[in-house]
A and B are shown apart, each in its own frame.
Chain A
Amino acid sequence: MSIPTLQGLQTALSGLVAEQTALDTTGNNIANANTEGYSRETALMEPNPPIPIPAISAQTGEGAQLGAGVTVATITRIRNVYLDSQYRAQNSSLGAATTDAEILERAQAAFNEPSTAGIATQLSKFWSAWNSLAESPSSEPAKEVVIAAGKQLATTFNELSSQLSTFATQAGEEYNALTGPSGEVEDYANQLAQLNGQIKLAEEAGQPPNDMLDRRDLLLDKLSGLASVTVTEEPNHTDTVTFGEAAKPLVEGTTVNWPQTLTESSGGRLGALIQLTGPNGALTALQQGLDEVAGTLSSTVNGHLTKAFFSGGTAATLAVAVEAGEVQASATGAAGANEAARAIAALRGGAAEQQYAGLVEQVGSAVRSAQDDKANLQTTVTAISNQRQSVSGVSLDEEMTNLITYQRGYQASARTLTAMSEMLETLIEHTGVVGL
């Protein structure tokens, strides 16, 4: 039975190396404490295979195993894959809700209600102008006022309509920019495919590429804001990524399948952009509602007159069709008759105004529910993000504690080495030297 003479040195050395690796890992964690998408890493230490010592006991003849130090088995990143998929699912919904809220808030601002400049006020002024005309039916100034109020009203309709269609156009342009050549989707997909290739090679070489894995996860997080993302990890460590409702996976190994067609149920920002401007979308509904108000206004006013006051039956085309001299307070043509003016003034609070008030309520409700959705999802995403941070985030307090632990470990290993060295010195320098 024997123990290799220099085994103690080897054991102490393995301690030094392992502690140093752990110290370096801790240092790396501290350095990356504020890096986006970084998962904290830890050096997994394992005991070395022991040295068997047969028949160590002279009495019983039983053997034993002598520990042979430590080795760093791997440096692993600490991450919960389940939280990742949860985060991405909620982040897609958040992307959609944020887009809805953003665009609908713009539409709401365009309505400019309640204010002294919106359509509601213009309508009210228009009715008042007819009231004044009814007081003095043949007065030229009163007719001018009716024309001016009518034109102002028509212009406000035209402007709001054009603003709403601009928002729809902008949404379409944004969709094209995101999905087009060298848009964000393609950019992310290319990076993912490239990382897939590199990760596969590194894993095959038995070196877990922690930083590349982190980068891939970060890209997937970002992609999930654009549309829903499902990630399947293949046995060869590449990720297959399905995107939105696209027919083929966006990324499969090192292959990118893009461009593809997305639908309005794709989720994320892209799905919301398709949905808002689609035939059942909120922007389309607002535009149609506004057209309806303009149509009602035009037909109810014109219905009381023999010469149409408004031309154009949609919000975009509404215009005043008569000159001041042609404004009729009455169908009879008598100078003092005012029945038409009174009838038009009595349209105040009527169908057009009710429809418009309903439309304002509609845009308000749409914005409110989008904002509520956004706030709720934001809370959820923040909660999941915090859970992820709790698992993967770098805690400086913890790293400082580890730093001390590993530093002390290193110092102790060095002390062991010194002890071994002194022991060997006794053997080498003093053994066999007697009586000199």
Chain B
Amino acid sequence: MSERITPAMVTSTTLSDLNSSLAALERTTNELSSGNTILEPSDNPYGASQVINLQSQLEGISSYESEAQNGISWESTASSALTNIGEVTQRVRELLVEGANGTYNKNDLETMALQVEQLTEGVKQDANTQYAGQYVFSGTATTTAPYEDGPNDEYKGNNETVSRAVGPSASVTITTNVSTLLGSGEAAEDGKLLDTLRTIAKNMRAGTEGQAALGTTDLQKLDGNIETLTQLQAISGSATDQLRTALTRNEQLQTTITAALANIDATNIPAASVQYANEQAAYEAALRAGATIVQESLLNFLQ
């Protein structure tokens, strides 16, 4: 403290104290009204860079959640199409068993063959199922229908896979390669479902020789196809499980990161409110003192 105190010193000190009181008050007001403690990078440089990273991560998580949701819907579309194919296949199997027992005449078998052909078209239509305008069974050729209506059974899709990103380095394959089940029909002689169905219809019309094949080779082939279908359904189901797990994991991560972000950047409302009250009291005291002290001088008392 200096020896001599002049009014100019008192004035300038009072003014700078008032300024700093008011600055502190303004700062706390800002923190309270914005809800954030980092209003500018200089408030907490490292914290600010953390906020940037965490906010980006948070935004990323909602993207991954959206992709996982999208994948789940895609898989559920694919899975219901596979279920339909399964039902159709069961119906064909019943017809096959009936046709093989030899009690039906030619006309009955013709009717059965027609039914099988209709069911075959149904299978192809199921394989052409779309999700959001994309063919789910075409590999990556999602704008191309995997099968066309009519006698041509050739698979038009490709064997590539479509994936959904569910994390920074995690992705889930959502493509079900339906050609391993359906194949490319009779022309390809690949023993896949469409080939089998066409053969069954042909054998139903082929009289006794055909009838013999119905109960033996055809039934074996169909059962083999049904097994492939079950495998595809299992793969699709496991993809859905992976997507659901990823969704849950992302939701948990979201909670964790939101909490971390709040730790760095969120205003502690009770503490800030108490601080605000203190600073306001200090400011008022400074104002009161300034208003009274600076007015006094020897002049007030000289007669």
Residues of chain A at the chain B interface (Cβ within 8 Å): 33-34, 105, 108-109, 111, 113-114, 120-121, 123-125, 127-128, 131-132, 134-138, 330, 332, 334-339, 342, 345-346, 348-349, 353-354, 356-358, 360-365, 367-368, 371, 382, 385-387, 389-391, 393-398, 400-401, 404
Q: Given the complex of chains A and B, what is the CA–CA distance between A236 and B213 in angstroms?
A: 131
A342 touches B165 (CB 8 A): yes
Contact of B67 among A135, A357, A391 (CB under 8 A): A135
Q: Which of A124, A367, A398 has the most CB of B within 10 A?
A: A124
Partner of B141, one of A33, A334, A361: A334
Q: Is the CB of B168 within 8 A of A346?
A: yes
Residues of A within 8 Å of B41, CB to CB, are: 108, 111, 113-114, 360-361, 363-364, 367
**Contact with B60, one of A135, A349, A390 (Cβ below 8 angstroms):** A349
Interchain CA distance A354-B57 in the complex, whole Å: 12
Q: Does B6 contact A389, Cβ atoms closer than 8 Å?
A: yes
| Assembled-state Cα–Cα distance A338/B163 (Å) | 7
Chain B positions within 8 Å of A132 at CB level: 63, 66
Pairwise interchain contact B298-A113, C-beta atoms closer than 8 A = no
Max chain A C-beta neighbours (<10 A), residue from B6, B140, B141? B6
Residues on A with C-beta less than 8 A from B297 are 396-397, 400
Q: Tell me, in angstroms, the Cα distance from A105 to B43 when the chains sit together.
A: 12
Q: Which of B111-119, B131-139, B192-200, B277-285 contacts A (4 or more CB under 8 A)?
A: B131-139
Q: Is the CB of B70 within 8 A of A135?
A: yes
Taking CB atoms, residues of chain B closer than 8 Å to A404 are: 302
> Can you pick out 10 interface pairs between chain A and chain B where the beta carbons lie within 8 Å of each other?
A108-B40, A114-B51, A131-B165, A132-B63, A334-B158, A357-B49, A363-B41, A368-B43, A385-B12, A393-B4
B5 and A390 form a contact (CB under 8 A): yes
Say yes or no for B77: interface residue by CB 8 A criterion: no
Contact A335 B144 (CB under 8 A): yes
Tell me the complex Cα distance, A356–B51, Å.
Answer: 12
Could you tell me the distance in whole angstroms from the C-beta of B28 to the nearest C-beta in chain A?
Answer: 18
For A348, give its contact among B12, B40, B135, B168 (CB under 8 Å): B168
Q: Does B7 belong to the interface (CB within 8 Å)?
A: yes
Cβ 8 A contact of A361, one of B49, B62, B138, B169: B49
Nearest chain B CB to A397 CB, angstrom units: 4
Q: A134-B67, A364-B40, A367-B41 are in contact. Are A336 and B8 (CB under 8 A)?
A: no
Residue of B nearest to A350 (CB): B168
* B110 CB, nearest partner CB in chain A, Å: 41
The interface of chain B, by Cβ under 8 A from chain A, is 2-9, 12-13, 16, 36, 38, 40-46, 48-53, 55-57, 59-60, 62-64, 66-67, 70, 132-135, 138-144, 158, 160, 162-165, 168-169, 171, 265, 297-299, 302
On whether the beta carbons of A390 and B141 are closer than 8 Å, the reply is no
CA distance A364 to B141 in the complex (A): 49
A367 contact set on B, CB distance < 8 A = 40-42
Complex interface: chain B residues within 8 A of A330 (CB): 140
Once the chains bind, are A34 and B52 in contact (CB under 8 Å)?
A: no
The chain A residue with its CB closest to the CB of B170 is A346
Q: How far is the CA of A111 from the CA of B41 in the complex (A)?
A: 9
A134 touches B45 (CB 8 A): no
Q: Contact between B42 and A335 (Cβ–Cβ < 8 Å)?
A: no
Closest to B40 in A: A108
Using known A-B contacts A361-B45, A368-B45, determine if residue A393 contacts B8 with beta carbons closer than 8 Å.
Answer: yes
Q: Let me know if B298 and A396 touch, CB within 8 A.
A: yes
Q: Which of B45, B56, B302 contacts A120 (CB 8 A)?
A: B56
A317 to B165, CA, bound (A): 32
Given A357-B49, A364-B41, A400-B302, answer yes or no on A131-B66 (Cβ-Cβ < 8 Å).
Answer: yes
- Known contacts: A393-B8, A395-B4. The answer to whether A348 contacts B56 by CB under 8 A is yes
- Measured between alpha carbons, how far is A131 from B62 in the docked complex, in Å? 10
Shortest beta-carbon distance, B2 to chain A, in Å?
3
Task: State the Cβ distance, B284 to closest chain A Cβ, in Å.
Answer: 23
Q: A386-B9, A395-B5 are in contact. Are A127 and B140 (CB under 8 A)?
A: no
A136, A346, A353, A390: which contacts B52 (Cβ < 8 A)? A353
Check B163–A114 contact: CB distance below 8 A.
no
Q: Give B59's nearest chain A residue, CB to CB.
A: A124
Which B residue sits closest to A34, measured CB to CB? B8
Query: Taking each of B50, B56, B133, which has the highest tally of chain A beta carbons within 10 Å of its own beta carbon?
Result: B56
In the bound assembly, the distance between CA atoms of A6 and B3 in angstroms comes to 45
Q: Which residues of A contact B140 (CB under 8 A)?
A: 330, 332, 334-337
**Measured between C-beta atoms, what is the minimum distance from A109 to chain B in Å?**
8
Shortest C-beta distance, B260 to chain A (Å), equals 14
The 6 closest A-B pairs by CB, nearest first: A364-B41, A336-B142, A364-B45, A390-B2, A393-B6, A131-B63
Residues of A within 8 A of B141 (CB): 334-336
Smallest CB–CB gap between A243 and chain B, Å? 28
The winner among B8, B49, B168 for most chain A CB atoms within 10 A is: B49
With A114-B265, A124-B55 as contacts: A401 and B298 at CB distance below 8 Å = yes
Does B60 contact A127, Cβ atoms closer than 8 Å? yes
Choose one: B5, B7, B49, B60; the contact of A360 (CB below 8 Å): B49
A131 touches B49 (CB 8 A): no
> In the complex the two chains form, is B9's CB within 8 Å of A114's CB?
no
A109 CA / B64 CA spacing, docked (Å): 32
Q: Please, how many angstroms separate the alpha-carbon atoms of A396 and B142 in the complex?
A: 92
Complex CA–CA separation, A121 to B36 (angstroms): 17
Contact B6 A400 (CB under 8 A): no
State whether A332 touches B6 (Cβ < 8 A).
no
Contacts of B5 on A, CB cut-off 8 Å? 390, 395
Give the chain B neighbours of A128 by CB distance below 8 A: 59-60, 62-63
**A120 surroundings in chain B (CB, below 8 A):** 52, 55-56
Which partner residue on chain B sits nearest A118 by CB separation?
B52
Chain A residues, CB < 8 A from B51: 114
B63 CB contact (under 8 Å) in A33, A113, A345, A398: A345
Q: Given A131-B67, A136-B132, A357-B52, do A389 and B298 touch, yes or no (CB 8 Å)?
A: no
A358 and B49 contact, Cβ closer than 8 Å, known pairs A346-B169, A395-B4: yes
Residues of chain A within 8 A (CB-CB) of B70 are 135
A135 and B162: CB pair below 8 A? no
- Kindly list chain B residues whose C-beta atoms are within 8 Å of the C-beta of A363: 41-42, 45
Are B9 and A390 in touch, CB under 8 angstroms?
Answer: yes
Bound complex: CA A113 to CA B62 (Å):
21
- CB B74 to nearest CB in A, in angstroms, measures 9
Choose one: A111, A137, A356, A398; the contact of B4 (CB below 8 Å). Answer: A398
CA distance A33 to B299 in the complex (A): 14
Bound complex: CA A395 to CA B41 (Å): 45
Q: A131 to chain B: closest CB distance in Å?
A: 4
> Please, which residues of chain B bring their CB within 8 A of the CB of A360?
41, 45, 48-49, 52
